[in-house]
Structure 1
Amino acid sequence: MESFDRNSLLKKLDAKIIWDLVIIGGGATGLGIAVDAATRGYKTLLVEQSDFAKGTSSRSTKLVHGGVRYLAQGDIGLVREALKERGRLLQNAPHLTKNESIIIPCYSYLSAAKYVAGLKLYDWLSAGLSFGASRLIKKNTLKTKLPTIAKKGLKCGVLYHDGTFDDARLALNLAQTAVEHGAVCLNYVKATALHKNSDGRINGVDILDKLSNVAYQISASSVVNATGVFADEILHMDNQLAKSTIRPSQGIHLVLDRKFLNSPDGIMIPKTDDGRVLFVLPWYDKVLMGTTDTPLDKHDLEPRALETEIQFVLKTAGKYLDQVPARKDVLSVYAGLRPLAATGDKNDKTKEISRSHKVLVTKSGLVSVIGGKWTTYRKMAEDTLDKMIQQGLLIKATCKTVNLSIHGGAQFRKPEAGFELKSAVFADPLAIYGSDKHLMEALMQSNLELARPVGGYKRLLAIQVVWAVRFEMAQTVEDVLARRIRILFTDAKKAIELALPVAAIMAAELGLDAQWQQRQVEDFTRLAEGYLITGF
Structure 2
Amino acid sequence: MLPIYSWWKLPYYYVGAKVYDFLAGGQALESSYFLSKTKAVEKFPMLKPDGLKGAIVYYDGQHNDARMNISLVLSAAANGAMVANHVKVISLIKDTSSKVVGVRVKDMLSGEEWNIYAKGVVSAIGPFADSLRKMDNPNIQTIVTPSTGVHVVLPSYYGPSNMGLLDPETTDDRLLFFLPWQKHVIVGTTDVASEVTTDPQPTEKEISFILNEIQVYLNPGIKIRRGDVLAAWSGLRPLVRDPTKPSSQELARSHVVEVSESNMISVAGGKWTTYRAMASDTVDQAIKSFDLRPQGNCRTETCLLVGSHNYNSLDSIKLAQQFGFDPEVAQHLSESYGDRAFDVAMLSNKTGLKFPILGKRLSPQYPYIEAEVKYATEVEFARTITDVLARRTRLCFLNAIAAKEAIPKVADIMGSTLNWTKEEREKQIKDAKKYLKTMGLSQDRSKYNHNQVVSLREVFDACDLNKDGTLSEKELYFAITSVGASITSEEFQKILKNSEIESKEIGEYDFLTYLNLMDLVEREGGAEG
Question: What is the TM-score normalised by the length of structure 2?
Answer: 0.75
Q: What CA distance in whole angstroms lies between the structure 2 residues aligned with 1:531 and 1:216?
A: 34
Aligned pair count?
423
8 Å Cα contact 2:267-2:282 kept in structure 1:
yes
Q: What CA distance in whole angstroms lies between the structure 2 residues aligned with 1:300 and 1:169?
A: 23
Is residue 2:359 matched to residue 1:441?
no
| Residue 435 of structure 2: aligned partner | 527
Which residues of structure 1 form unaligned runs of 5+? Answer: 1-102, 419-424
Is residue 2:389 matched to residue 1:481?
yes
| Residue 310 of structure 1: aligned partner | 207
Q: What CA distance in whole angstroms lies between the structure 1 residues aligned with 2:364 and 2:316?
A: 29
8 Å Cα contact 2:151-2:186 kept in structure 1:
yes
Shift of 1:117: 1.0
8 Å Cα contact 1:229-1:339 kept in structure 2:
yes
Q: What CA distance in whole angstroms lies between the structure 2 residues aligned with 1:186 and 1:413?
A: 31
> SS of the counterpart of 1:460?
coil
Shift of 1:354: 4.1
Q: What CA distance in whole angstroms lies between the structure 2 residues aligned with 1:195 and 1:442?
A: 44
RMSD: 2.5
Q: What CA distance in whole angstroms lies between the structure 1 residues aligned with 2:340 and 2:419?
A: 25
Shift of 1:416: 8.8
Q: Quick one: which of 151, 158, 172 aligns to 2:70? A: 172
Answer with 185-194 or 524-533: which moved more. Answer: 524-533
| Residue 369 of structure 2: aligned partner | 461
Distance change (3 Å), C-alpha of 1:426 and 1:508 = closer
Structure with greater contact order relative to length (CA < 8 Å, sep ≥ 6): 1
Shift of 1:211: 2.7
Shift of 1:155: 1.2
Aligned partner letter, 1:506 = M
Distance change (3 Å), C-alpha of 1:429 and 1:349 = farther
8 Å Cα contact 1:260-1:321 kept in structure 2:
no
Is residue 2:225 matched to residue 1:326?
yes
Q: Quick one: which of 305, 316, 322 aligns to 1:406? A: 305
Shift of 1:275: 2.1
Aligned partner letter, 2:331 = D
Which residues of structure 2 form unaligned runs of 5+? Answer: 318-327, 443-511, 514-529
Distance change (3 Å), C-alpha of 1:123 and 1:520 = same
Alignment of 1:109-508 (within 5 A): 109-296=7-194, 298-322=195-219, 323-342=222-241, 353-396=251-294, 398-415=297-314, 428-431=331-334, 432-444=336-348, 451-454=359-362, 456-508=364-416
8 Å Cα contact 2:145-2:239 kept in structure 1:
yes
Aligned partner letter, 1:496 = K
Q: Quick one: which of 411, 421, 425 aligns to 1:517? A: 425
Answer with 489-498 or 517-526: which moved more. Answer: 517-526
The percentage of counterpart residues that share the same residue type is 34
> SS of the counterpart of 2:46?
coil
Shift of 1:254: 0.4
8 Å Cα contact 2:120-2:290 kept in structure 1:
no
8 Å Cα contact 1:317-1:324 kept in structure 2:
no
Q: What CA distance in whole angstroms lies between the structure 2 residues aligned with 1:126 and 1:137?
A: 21
Q: What CA distance in whole angstroms lies between the structure 2 residues aligned with 1:450 and 1:159?
A: 41
Distance change (3 Å), C-alpha of 1:206 and 1:416 = closer
Shift of 1:503: 0.6
Q: What CA distance in whole angstroms lies between the structure 2 residues aligned with 1:458 and 1:252?
A: 23
- The answer to which structure has the higher strand fraction is 1
Answer with 248-257 or 150-159: which moved more. Answer: 150-159
Q: What CA distance in whole angstroms lies between the structure 1 residues aligned with 2:248 and 2:407?
A: 40
Q: What CA distance in whole angstroms lies between the structure 1 residues aligned with 2:203 and 2:351?
A: 46
Question: What is the TM-score normalised by the length of structure 1?
Answer: 0.74
Answer with 483-492 or 379-388: which moved more. Answer: 379-388
Q: What CA distance in whole angstroms lies between the structure 2 residues aligned with 1:504 and 1:226?
A: 34
> SS of the counterpart of 1:221?
coil
8 Å Cα contact 1:146-1:263 kept in structure 2:
no
Alignment of 1:70-85 (within 5 A): none
> SS of the counterpart of 1:444?
coil
